[in-house]
Structure formats: C-alpha cells, structure tokens
Amino acid sequence: MNADTARGEVFGDALACEETRPAGFQPCASDPARLRAACLRSEGLLRALAVVEDSRGVEENEEYDPGTAALNRLEAKVDLLTALVARLARTQEPAEPIRALRWSALGVCVPGDTATAPGTTGIFRIQPSDWLPEALELPATVLASVTDGDGPQLWLRFGPLTPTLESALERHLFRVHRRAIAESRRPR
C-alpha cells in the first residue's frame, strides 16, 4: 500500500488533527485480552479528560447545576489520579519521543524509529494532554511504511476499537481541533 492509499484509509472523511506530542508505535503480538484492557484504560482516560476539560469552559445558565459539575470534575480527577498511581505501580516504561503527527479517530501518520512491515500489529501510544503524563494505548495495524529523507513514516489504522472508545476519541479530536482554531484566531 502506498502513502496515498493509506491516507484515504486513515483519514477518509474523518476529522484529522496535526499535533506535536509524545507518541510512538510498539509492535507486539495481537493478544485480545491485552488489547481489550488497553481499550478500556484509554476509554476511561478520554472520558475523564473530557469531563475535566469541558468543565473549564462551562457558562452558568439556568440548566447548569454547580454541584453536579463540581462532583463530575472531582470524580474525573479521582479517576485520573487512580490511573496515575496505577501507572507508577507498573514497571517504568520509557517515555515516547515527541513527534509531529497527524491523526484521526481512524488512524495516524507518525514518524517511526524503523521501517515496519505492513500488516504488523501493535500498540500506538500517545500522551493526549500536556498536563497529564498518561498515555492512550490504541491497538493499531501498519498499513504502510514510507521512507523518505526524514526517515520512515508509519501509516497506522486503529482497531479493533470499541464503539465507545471510537466515539470518545472522536470527541477528543474535536476538542483538539476546536482549541487549534481558537488559538489561530487569537490576536498576536
């Protein structure tokens, strides 16, 4: 598969965002239990991030209940704290390098450390927030590996993702896109 075909598979009609984040792909055998656990952790992380980030911009109106919003924020922060403590209890994994990437809820184009054969399965890891050093782990398959002057570019297709994880990922990328537009409109 070439880069143009992979681009259609990874982005298609989906909203795509360009970011510079700690990210990387780790090839590994397709273990359904491990992939399911990674999806559940990632879904919980995205849900908690959404509650924390969305509650920062809520305007007071007649439908807004400050008590419920505060409780949701507190619950989300406890979820994030629990995830961080669990991560610390696990063996220390090396941090992913910071890379410029383009991604959607379907997949990602990311610089790789080495060329990787199409069809290779593994886990794509990305730190979705600057303020939280926790990584999303998304199962992925290499669609294409294109080497140019800057090194290999990996085109990864996410999956299998649960419908709720795919939806949470779409919402996260929409918030990233919305922030990028707001940032570009700010006077300099």
The terminus-to-terminus CA distance of the chain in angstroms comes to 42
Mean pLDDT, rounded, of the chain: 84
Distance separating alpha carbons of residues 158 and 139, to the nearest angstrom: 6
Summarised one tens digit per residue, pLDDT across range 75-114 is: 778 877 877 776 676 556 667 899 999 999 999 999 988 8
Exposed/middle/buried for 76, CB within 10 Å: 0-12, 13-18, 19+?
buried
Among residues of the chain, what percentage have pLDDT more than 70?
Answer: 89
pLDDT at residue 106, rounded to an integer? 94
**In which band, very low, low, confident or very high, does the pLDDT at 140 lie, cut at 50, 70 and 90?**
very high
Q: Considering its fold, how many domains does the chain have in total?
A: 1
Q: List the domain range (segments joined by +) for residue 82.
A: 3-185
Contact between residue 35 and residue 137 where contact means Cβ atoms under 8 Å apart: no
Tell me the average pLDDT across 1-18: 87
pLDDT of residue 27: 92
Q: What single letter denotes the amino acid at residue 175? A: R
Mean pLDDT of the 36-44 span: 90
pLDDT at 62: 40
What tokens does 32 get?
């359904």
Highest mean pLDDT, choosing among 4-13, 20-29, 63-72, 128-137: 20-29
Mean pLDDT value of segment 115-142: 90
Closest CA relative to residue 146, chosen from 123, 122, 115, 119: 115
pLDDT over threshold 60, residue 59: no
Q: Is 134 helix (H, G, I), strand (E, B) or coil?
A: coil
Query: pLDDT band for position 55 (50/70/90)?
Result: low
Q: Which H helix or E strand runs over 168?
A: helix 163-185
Read off the pTM: 0.80
